[in-house]
């Protein structure tokens, strides 16, 4: 890091960030290619434009928190007002800059509006740029905050936007569009990151792909509501803006209080999406709970699609026995174990073991699982309450709803107001007792409905406070029970972000484990999270969500690169199926050190009917590469070669291909890294819904 003439230069391998700190709010003057030296005039030329005809005297730059009061016509990064609408457009003056090795903190004030602004920048070892801002009310009246967002100027040469979209069971679809005029925005009000609008946006050069072209990606690390904006101003300047979406009146700053934005995590590469995504992945892994960084991710079996709500202790013990016989290391008891929970219509909030189903509690089942050499995990949904529950009948006012309206229901449940101290303490005490009484090593933490009119006791909107209470609850439980691992689930991929991954060990990528869909779902998710945290399960032959039928081989090849699990009734599998599952588990265990710690990579296929991805070791001496054929290839678009960029060009690799049973290999040949990048591996024609895994090892 260096500073000269009010320009701060943050630098890591491949990336430079230059920030002008001469005014009241920092201005990113350069975020992109690594710079050896800074040409001040050239750097600032694109930031400070000359006066425009018919406009204000000075064209204001796009600051990290744009100020309407400065004459900037980008969407304001800070908006709000004091009683009577006063000070709706503040204007800050520089106060001081505190430098660190790879970052700085910039503080400024608006003495008229009596507000303070603090902006923190860090260019982290992972390669990501992390920014957050804090506004403080040091006046003697309330300040009603509408928004505080982070803004990233983008070069004019970024001509396309790439975003993620989807729906339940269709998460993380990659969408590409022009970024040449007007504005694109995505607003999420579901109280979670959502299935429809994950908080990720990319601005890229035209025709940029996995290994070519400049790309700028940004993610809002926040598990609640959010708003994303990408805009081209009339003078052709471009920017991305990310922040929490605050409902009307949701955040009032009392005198002396502050609001901090969620962290915006941004990544850049001049060599395409994959190297930029690797920065995101390294950032996640650097911030995972300590236990997740040091242990192998255990192969698990989840009981949901095996038994659903039909819990029977003997049946579950038999299922555990079969699971242990094929190498499963963790047995996770899903929904249906508590109170009167026999379907999805009741009992959320009644977090005690069902005396009817488990008259002796869970200890006999857990003891059986532990004797088989497996850990025991359990499903909970602590943020929800059923109207048909003892908790709701006792405390109907604990629901996060407005008492003035009939609530909007979803999945026969309401949201529990965790920001209400008695409700929070009740849930904490029940979960604490459960984890203290039983040998539970793993918690699947679910959240199965969106927020609608989420209302605090005060009558104000409550998603912000609910999200903070969720974080506090998980943190408090982890502090008390440090041995547990936690999975974040929200009807599948409805709550996935870097902030929830600071306190959980993996995410449930989607409720859909149809391998055909999962190939694309996991590819989209890999744009900002690594394989190691993606729950990827082998389901039944006939998919629960789509009804499609797939071979066990295709189901397995679609799951083995993630955090592997099984979600089917193993007790009805044939001996040949169990033998193949055992081989899949053994293969995964052999390679999971590489799969879960290496760099996840994606490849561009000539045909849209094919998908390819893989993992490279950090030293690039070993790799695993998956190629799948999703549908029939149209005549003339067959991929004859699969190019594998990013390896060591001078290194020579022996390449073998695993057969569909994951047991034996067939020699493919020996190639240099340069040959694999430029020419690639010659491919054979494949049938739809089949795949191959290549193993590369330096020699």
State the pLDDT at residue 635.
66
375 three-class SS? strand
Alpha helix ranges (H) inside 508-611: 515-525, 552-557, 575-597
CA dist., res. 180 & res. 202, Å (int)? 14
**Do the beta carbons of residue 364 and residue 313 sit within 8 Å?**
yes
Catalytic residue among 335, 511, 514, 599: 511
- Per-residue pLDDT reduced to its tens digit, 362-376: 999 999 999 999 999
Q: Which two tokens stand for residue 488?
A: 């974040």
- State how far the Cα of 94 lies from the Cα of 497, in Å rounded to an integer: 33
Residues belonging to the chain = 699
| pLDDT grade for 637, boundaries at 50, 70 and 90 | low
Q: pLDDT tier at 293 (50, 70, 90 boundaries)? A: confident
- Contact at 8 Å (CB) between 377 and 332? yes
Q: Residues 557, 523: contact at Cβ < 8 Å?
A: no
Nearest residue to 312 via CA among 381, 367, 365 = 365
Highest mean pLDDT out of 368-377, 605-614, 626-635: 368-377
Segment 295-317, tens digit of pLDDT: 789 999 999 999 999 999 999 99
pLDDT for 636 equals 61
Q: What is the pLDDT of residue 638?
A: 63
pLDDT over threshold 80, residue 102: yes
Residues with Cβ within 8 Å of 250's Cβ and at least 6 positions away in sequence, in order, are 460, 461, 462, 463, 464
Alpha carbon distance 36, 132 (integer Å): 27
Domain ranges of the chain: 2-287, 290-508, 601-698
**Is the CB of residue 331 less than 8 Å from the CB of residue 376?**
yes
Q: Could you tell me the pTM of the whole model?
A: 0.97
Q: What percent of the chain has pLDDT over 70?
A: 99
pLDDT at 45: 83
Lowest mean pLDDT among 193-207, 388-402, 656-670: 656-670
Using a 10 angstrom Cβ sphere, with 0-12 exposed, 13-18 middle and 19 or more buried, the burial of residue 425 is: exposed
- Is a pLDDT exceeding 70 seen at residue 658? yes
> How does pLDDT run across 389-442, given as a tens digit for each residue?
999 999 999 999 999 999 999 999 999 999 999 999 999 999 999 999 999 999
Query: 601-698: which CATH number, 3.30.960.10, 3.40.228.10, 3.20.20.140, 2.60.40.1180?
Result: 2.60.40.1180
Q: Which of 110, 335, 375, 446 is catalytic?
A: 446
> Longest C-alpha distance within the chain, in Å?
81
Burial class for 336, CB neighbours closer than 10 Å (0-12, 13-18, 19+): buried
Residue 4 predicted with pLDDT over 80: no
- Alpha-carbon gap, residue 386 to 342, rounded angstroms: 13
With 70 as the cut, is the pLDDT of residue 123 above it?
A: yes
Backbone Cα Rg of the chain: 26
Check if 511 is active-site.
Answer: yes
Residue 59 reports pLDDT greater than 90: no
C-alpha separations of 304 from 142, 182, 213, 332 in Å: 49, 46, 43, 9
Task: Please give the angle made by the CA atoms of 596, 602 and 604, to the nearest 5 degrees.
Answer: 165
Determine whether 446 is an active site residue. Answer: yes
pLDDT band, residue 602 (cuts 50/70/90): very high
3-state secondary structure of 197: coil
Mean pLDDT (the chain) is 96
CATH value of 290-508 in 1.10.287.110, 3.20.20.70, 1.10.357.10, 1.10.8.60: 3.20.20.70
Instruction: Measure Cα distances from 183 to 230, 231, 237, 294 in Å.
Output: 6, 4, 12, 44
Helix (H, G, I), strand (E, B) or coil at 523: helix
Please give the class, per CATH, of domain 2-287. Answer: mainly beta
Long-range contacts of 353-360 (CB under 8 A, 24+ apart): 354/311, 357/311, 357/312, 357/313, 358/311, 358/313
């Amino acid at each position: 890091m260096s500073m000269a003439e009010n320009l701060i230069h943050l630098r890591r391998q491949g990336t430079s960030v230059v920030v002008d700190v001469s005014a009241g709010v920092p201005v990113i003057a350069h975020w992109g290619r690594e710079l050896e030296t800074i040409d001040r005039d050239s750097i600032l030329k694109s930031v400070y434009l000359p006066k425009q005809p018919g406009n204000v005297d000075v064209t204001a730059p796009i600051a990290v928190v744009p100020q309407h009061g400065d004459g900037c016509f980008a969407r304001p990064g800070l908006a709000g007002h004091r009683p009577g609408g006063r000070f709706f457009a503040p204007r800050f003056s520089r106060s001081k800059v505190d430098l660190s090795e790879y970052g700085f903190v910039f503080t400024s004030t608006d003495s008229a509006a009596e507000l303070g602004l603090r902006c923190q920048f860090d260019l982290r070892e992972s390669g990501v740029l992390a920014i957050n801002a804090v506004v403080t009310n040091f006046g003697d009246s309330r300040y009603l905050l509408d928004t505080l967002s982070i803004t990233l100027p983008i070069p004019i040469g970024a001509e396309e936007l790439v975003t993620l979209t989807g729906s339940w069971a269709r998460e993380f679809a990659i969408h590409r569009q022009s970024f040449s005029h007007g504005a694109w925005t995505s607003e999420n009000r579901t109280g979670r990151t959502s299935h429809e609008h994950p908080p990720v946006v990319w601005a890229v050069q035209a025709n940029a792909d996995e290994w070519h072209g400049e790309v700028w990606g940004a993610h809002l690390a926040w598990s609640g509501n959010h708003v994303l904006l990408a805009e081209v101003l009339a003078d052709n300047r471009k920017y991305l803006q990310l922040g929490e979406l605050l409902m009307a009146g949701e955040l009032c700053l009392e005198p002396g209080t502050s609001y901090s934005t969620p962290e915006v995590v941004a990544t850049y590469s001049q060599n395409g999406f994959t190297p930029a995504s690797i920065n995101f992945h390294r950032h996640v892994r650097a911030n995972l709970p300590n236990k997740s960084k040091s242990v192998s991710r255990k192969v698990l079996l989840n009981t949901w699609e095996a038994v659903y709500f039909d819990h029977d202790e003997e049946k579950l013990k038999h299922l555990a026995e079969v699971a242990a016989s094929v190498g499963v290391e963790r047995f996770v008891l899903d929904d249906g174990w508590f109170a009167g929970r026999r379907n999805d219509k009741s009992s959320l909030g009644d977090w005690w073991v069902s005396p009817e189903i488990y008259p002796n509690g869970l200890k006999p089942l857990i003891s059986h699982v532990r004797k088989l050499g497996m850990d025991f995990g359990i499903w909970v949904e602590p943020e929800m309450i059923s109207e048909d529950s003892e908790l709701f009948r006792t405390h109907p006012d604990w629901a996060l709803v407005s008492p003035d309206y009939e609530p909007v229901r979803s999945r026969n449940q309401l949201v529990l107001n965790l920001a209400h101290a008695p409700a929070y303490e009740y849930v904490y005490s029940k979960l604490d007792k459960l984890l203290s009484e039983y040998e539970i090593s793993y918690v699947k933490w679910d959240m199965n409905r969106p927020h609608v009119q989420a209302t605090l006791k005060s009558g104000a909107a409550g998603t912000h406070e609910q999200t903070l209470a969720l974080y506090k609850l998980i943190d408090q439980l982890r502090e008390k029970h440090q041995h547990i691992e936690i999975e974040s689930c929200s009807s599948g991929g409805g709550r996935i972000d870097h902030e929830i991954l600071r306190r959980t060990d993996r995410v449930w990528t989607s409720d859909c484990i149809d391998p055909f869909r999962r190939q694309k779902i996991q590819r989209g998710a890999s744009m900002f999270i690594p394989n190691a945290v993606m729950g990827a399960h082998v389901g039944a032959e006939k998919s629960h969500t789509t009804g499609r039928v797939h071979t066990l081989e295709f189901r397995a090849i679609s799951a083995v690169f993630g955090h592997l699990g099984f979600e089917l009734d193993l007790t009805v599998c044939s001996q040949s199926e169990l033998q193949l599952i055992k081989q899949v588990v053994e293969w995964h265990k052999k390679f999971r050190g590489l799969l879960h710690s290496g760099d996840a990579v994606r490849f561009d296929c000539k045909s849209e009917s094919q998908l390819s991805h893989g993992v490279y070791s950090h030293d690039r001496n070993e790799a695993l590469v998956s190629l799948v054929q999703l549908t029939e290839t149209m005549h003339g678009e067959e991929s004859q070669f699969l190019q594998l960029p990013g390896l060591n060009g001078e290194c020579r690799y022996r390449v073998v291909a695993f057969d569909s049973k994951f047991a034996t290999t067939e020699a493919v040949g020996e190639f240099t890294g340069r040959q694999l990048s430029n020419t690639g591996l010659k491919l054979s024609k494949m049938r739809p819904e089949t795949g191959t895994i290549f193993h590369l090892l330096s020699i």
